[in-house]
Structure 1
Amino acid sequence: MAALGAYVWRQPYLLLGLTILFWSGNSIIGRAVRDDIPPLTLAALRWIGATAILLPFAVGPGRRDWPVLRDHWQIILVLGLSGVAAFNTLLYLGLGRTTASNALLIQASTPPFILLIAWMLEGQRTSVARLVGTALSMAGVMIVVTQGQVETLLHLRLNVGDIFVLIASVLWAVYTVLLPRRPDLHPLSFLCATFVVGVAVVTPLAAWELSHGARIVWTPMAIGAAFYVALFPSVIAYVFYTRGVSLVGGAVAGQFINAMPLVGALLAVLALGEPLAAYHLVGMATILLGIIWFTRTQ
């Protein structure tokens, strides 16, 4: 088992693929329980639960890393605000106010935002070949989201939920670009510190939401959703994503986000019994071609 874990830890594309699987499930769960758990409360439950799960494993490394955490609190705060607190809160708010098609299409803007912000903050330039790879992946996203019907794009309408998702996508791009700047810490120390930032920011917002009439309906689905969002898209996915970025860089890791609409559609096929259509297969091939093209070029 240890040998298998060590092998997986050295495979960035496997780690990033699992990350996208868990995050795609997060979007489906967030949309499914929007009437049972208010969005700010779901965000708070996610990070309180994730911190509770991670804390026992992070106490030892955190004690050893405390001087580094204290000296680099600014970057920890920025990463915690952008990639934990604000991103997920805005995503849940958006999922309650927009269609799945709009949300998936807008999240496809994240890889180009990563390239743009990396250029603005780090002076990183990208090649024409990599731009072609990005364009191919986004074209595959368009095929999946529009179900292969170009005229669907003409009927998309933006609303406040779309704006929330767009801002969340920009913030995730910022988080991805800044992630390599994190101090030299044990991964669990780093993630626990950023999760604590998320808890500190989101919990008062959830308390405000509940004090203004929002209520949780504790159905079995809601309980399962709270457990899922705390463990899989939070603790496990953030560990995997951080490791993936450290191995292949933020630009390559960001390309995998374009697979989320496809993975979400396939999860809907498996979990909800929705049919698998030809456009799914065409979109899958185009997205994968774009990701492979991007990762194989400089």
Structure 2
Amino acid sequence: MRPPMSTLATARNSSALVLSALAAIFWGTNFEATRLVLIDLPPWTAAALRFAVAAVAALMWLALTRGLDLAVLRRNAPAFVVLGLIGITCFNAALFLGMETSSPVTAALIMGTSPLTTNLLEALINRRRPAGMALLGMAISLIGVALTVGAFSGARFASGDLLIAAGSLGWALYSIGCRRQVSGAAPLETAVWTMTFGAVALVVIALAVETPAAALAGVSAVTWIAGLHMALIGSVLAIVFWQIGISMRGPAATSVLFNLVPVSALVVSALFGRVPSWSQILGVAVAVFGVWLASRGEGGSPARNPGRRANG
């Protein structure tokens, strides 16, 4: 006897919920993994390693599931190249260079506000006034970030924090560009192709400014594990799980789970022995509340942005 359709729908929704939550958690672990990789590797090589592996794995996944639609690639090739340079190359350059002086929790929190930043920036591009709730949510989120870095107790933003914030702005432009410049491509196809072109650029730059072969020859097992984790789990698997969540639960319901990214980074950081201070815990809570509040005010529109996410 087949189970009722309502039971099947509930089971599918529950599975999608779990997968979406896992995707956000995986993205949150990337920041601690980045810190570990940077112990042995210079930033450009670390970024190139992550996305060279991720791009190959993502292309294989796309080929086995949807197939490589070359017509989509030809039609959107210029957009894929430009967006890959902005959303993968430039963003990850800012992240890996910024993480040399920033902390995993702060970096994750800054990036956790990127869906909200995207919606506010898109409102300005479209010459419409952002919703009042979105502006309030952004203000609250910025207070949370300031609490996390200790700005209210006299500490200053590190240069890495500002670099990651610039990368977050670049990611917002990437997210907007994916919606406005790409035509007839599924979100997963957009993510894979932009990841591929961005990875090629990262490899070329790493070869030009660093010595990747020599650096990789002397890395520890921990660095390899952290690098592969970022590439396979924190990039490819997270993207696939997030796309499943969006397809089964819808973007609005899925986007709320993006708030787990900074929470995951906070927990992982604590597991690695860096117990967060009360200001960090409070800052994460305040920032997450701000993003949630803004997403409610925008009717769930931030959901559209993480669906394009190719790194995090």
CA distance in 2, matches of 1:274, 1:282: 16
Matches of 2:47 and 2:172, distance apart in 1 = 19
The reply to whether residue 46 of structure 1 matches residue 45 of structure 2 is no
1:27 aligns with 2:31: yes
Cα pair 1:20 1:259 within 8 Å, conserved: yes
- Whether 1:263 aligns to 2:267 is no
- Residues 186-210 of structure 1 deviation map (CA, whole Å, 9 limit, x = unaligned): 4443332112202220111121244
Question: Corresponding residue for 1:56?
Answer: 60
Q: What percent of counterpart residues are identical?
A: 27
Q: Does the C-alpha gap of structure 1 residues 183 and 82 become closer, same or farther in structure 2, counting only changes over 3 Å?
A: same
Report if aligned partners of 1:145, 1:261 keep a CA contact under 8 Å in 2.
Answer: no
What is the distance in 2 between the residues matched to 1:292 and 1:213?
A: 44
Q: Aligned runs of 1:171-250 on 2, under 5 Å?
A: 171-181=170-180, 182-211=182-211, 215-216=215-216, 217-240=218-241, 247-248=250-251
**TM-score after normalising by structure 1:** 0.78
User: Helix, strand or coil for the counterpart of 2:60?
Assistant: helix
Letter of the aligned partner of 1:263 in structure 2? Answer: S
Q: Distance in 2 between matches of 1:230 and 1:176?
A: 20
Tell me the distance in 1 between the aligned counterparts of 2:54 and 2:149. 31
Q: Distance in 2 between matches of 1:294 and 1:241?
A: 21
CA contact 2:41–2:215 (8 Å) conserved in 1:
yes
State the shift of 1:277 in Å. 5.2
Q: In structure 1, which of residues 72, 75, 83 is the aligned counterpart of residue 76 of structure 2?
A: 72
Contact 1:47 / 1:199 at 8 angstroms: preserved in 2? Answer: yes
Residue 120 (structure 1) shift:
3.3
The answer to whether the 8 Å contact 2:23/2:238 transfers is: yes
One-letter amino acid of the counterpart of residue 149, structure 2: V
Q: Matches of residues 125-204 of structure 1 in structure 2 within 5 Å?
A: 125-146=129-150, 150-151=152-153, 154-159=154-159, 161-181=160-180, 182-204=182-204
**Residue in 2 that maps onto 1:36:** 40
Mapped partners of 1:111, 1:189: distance in 2: 20
- Cα distance in 2 for residues equivalent to 1:70 and 1:132: 42
Q: Deviations over 1:93-140 (max 9, x none)?
A: 111244557645654664553234202333353211222223233333
Say if 1:9 and 1:132 are closer, same or farther in 2 by CA, change over 3 A: farther
5+ residue gaps, structure 1: none
Say which of 7, 14, 32 aligns to 2:13. 7
Unmatched runs of 5 consecutive residues or more in structure 2: 1-7, 299-312
- How far is 1:141 from its partner? 3.3
- Correspondence 1:118 to 2:122: yes
Work out whether residues 101 and 145 of structure 1, in 8 Å CA contact, stay in contact via their aligned partners in 2: no
Inter-CA distance 228–73: structure 2 relative to 1 (3 Å threshold): same
Q: Report what 1:272 is aligned to.
A: 272
Question: Partner of 2:4 in structure 1?
Answer: none
TM (norm. structure 2) is: 0.75
- Distance verdict in 2 for CA 1:112–1:195, change over 3 Å: closer
CA contact (8 A) 2:98 2:163 kept: yes
- Does the aligned pair in 1 maintain the 2:45–2:212 contact within 8 Å? no
User: How far 1:48 moved relative to its partner?
Assistant: 1.4
